[in-house]
Amino acid sequence: MSGEVTVEFEVDGGAPELAAAIDEHGKRYRKTGQVTAIRAERITPVTTVLANGTKETENVAAPGDYIVTGPGGERWVVKPETFETRYTPKPGEKTVYLARGEVIAVENPFGRPISLMAPWGERQHGAADCMIADVVNPATQRRAGEPYIISRPEFDRTYELVPAVAKKVRPAAKGNAGREKS
């Protein structure tokens, strides 16, 4: 209907409800597939647009940052120190990388559109069926406590469930509840 305003539920990444949902209902996933990535040579604006056309975030790549393009064409910025822990070069292909590492993820527990301040400082917007993920540190088996949104189509296309894991993921710190935002 024309003129309708979508009301998002603004979520604090450390909200007790979100932490409880991730800790109690989250499942462990591994990123699959490959991405392409180039290093920014100058300050470069990057808008993440999902496969369905939804603008998820706007960010700026500084010189040396990686501009990553996922399998669905979505683009995002990754700092070098983070990129090097999450991706490995694909042998024989200069700008192609394979994902490594795992996340714990849960379907949006609020059941309606949300917004969330991502760990990299940009506000993300997610649909009612989006996934909320948090990186798992393999050494400590603790989630980072820095949740971020992944749209459901991109998540389904790029993540696979990890078979039963011997060590349970340990919870991260908790924060404040969300509030309405229009």
pLDDT in tens, 11-42: 888 888 889 999 999 999 998 878 999 999 99
Phi, psi of 81 (to 5 degrees): -65, -30
Residues of the chain with pLDDT under 50: 1-5, 166-167, 173-182
Q: What pLDDT shows up at residue 40? A: 97
Q: What is the DSSP letter of 161?
A: E
Residue 107: both structure tokens together? 């379907």
Domain layout of the chain by residue ranges: 8-181
